[in-house]
A = this chain, B = another copy of it.
Amino acid sequence: MAQQHLDPTDPTAGPVAGDALAAYLRAQATEFLRALRQHREAGGAAAANGSKEAADAARALRRSARRISGTLHTFRPLLDEGWSEGMRPELAWLSGTLAREHAYEARLERLLAALHRLSGSAPAVFPAQATSEARTEPRAEAGTRAEVRTAKAPLTVGAAKAGALLERQLTLARTRAHSAALQALGSSRFHAVADNVAVLASEVPLSAAATATATTTATGPPPGPGLRPLAAAAEERLRDAVTGLPLITAGHPYNSEALVHGLSTDTAPQPQDAPWHQVRLLLRLHRYAREVLYGDEDLVDVRILNAGQALDRHRDAAEAAAAAASAARTPRIAPATAYALGVLHADQRHEVEAARFMFQRAWTRETVGTP
């Protein structure tokens, strides 16, 4: 990505704030347009089911849409307000619509892999697997996702029926999400978004504050907020949200907290998950803000990376657990199917708990320091 990097040690960095921001947004907009072209070339809008190329292009579209949207949010005082306020919900709509198909597919894969693991037949992957300690149980070799799904595992009737039910429900949801994504990509609403992104690729509408900063440094009024204070504010929002998480509990292995509502009468998403999901979004905004400041990939903070992976796992497991619970409410299923779905639900809620533990470990490894 050809973009100007901001030197964090440069005390005169303020005036170039607008420039660095504009460069980042231009680069992401260019990525967006390239992905859109790829998606069209892959026949994305025509294919009944997405090809690999179309799926990759859709992922790239989502990736840059998220980054543009996040950047407009974090650095909004530096951008034309009306323009960026109008653009953000449209980008959120687009990336949300494009994400759903992939999410259903990944959820089904996760649940089927778990069903096989719980049947003692599929590869379980965890940190200790590589060790050579004595085992009382033979363990299958780690395999690929494809192997997991095609493994000739001796599933119980319940596990097999649960798998078939989940496959039916999530495949239907995925097909619908695919159609919705295709429809969205052909809509005039999408074309308006694409037109706006095309504008962004050539001319970033900076605010008066951002351009003023560049010309009145020495003599005029005090410069408006620069890049770094805005990025620091994004980090501060992240830190604040993390402070609200029950990290002491999460740091105690096997605290049983995530399954506390495993059998509750409430069918709504677990309210205890919401602050974690919120931290996930704020961590993403923090990451994008760092990209604006320090470039895309050249300064990877392992801690932020691990924390982000833990929160992704948290979200995926929480949604998979909800899908298992929801499948169990299907009328007229066999008790064995329901039993398997119950085991599966609890298993995924324990994955949620494990992800929180992972996050706690990653986050508290060292205290946050602005580089």
A119 partner, pick from B120, B257, B264, beta carbons under 8 A = B264
**How many residues belonging to A are interface residues under a CB distance threshold of 8 Å?**
67
B-side contacts of A124, CB under 8 Å: 256-257, 260
Assembled-state Cα–Cα distance A124/B256 (Å): 8
Task: List 19 A–B pairs whose Cβ atoms lie within 8 Å, in order of A's numbering.
Answer: A117-B256, A118-B262, A118-B263, A119-B261, A120-B261, A120-B264, A121-B264, A126-B249, A126-B254, A128-B248, A128-B251, A136-B246, A254-B353, A339-B339, A339-B345, A342-B342, A345-B346, A346-B347, A350-B350
Shortest Cβ distance from residue A96 to the other chain B in the assembled complex, whole angstroms: 25
Which residues A347-361 have CB closer than 8 A to chain B? 347, 350-351, 353-354, 357
Assembled-state Cα–Cα distance A337/B135 (Å): 35
The interface of chain A, by Cβ under 8 A from chain B, is 115, 117-121, 124, 126-128, 131, 133-137, 154-156, 158-159, 243-244, 246-249, 251-257, 259-266, 271-272, 274-275, 328, 333-347, 350-351, 353-354, 357
B-side contacts of A351, CB under 8 Å: 254
Assembled-state Cα–Cα distance A244/B251 (Å): 28
Assembled-state Cα–Cα distance A243/B339 (Å): 36
Assembled-state Cα–Cα distance A275/B117 (Å): 22
A263 partner, pick from B156, B243, B333, B338, beta carbons under 8 A = B156
B-side contacts of A343, CB under 8 Å: 259, 262-263, 342-343, 345-346
B-side contacts of A353, CB under 8 Å: 254
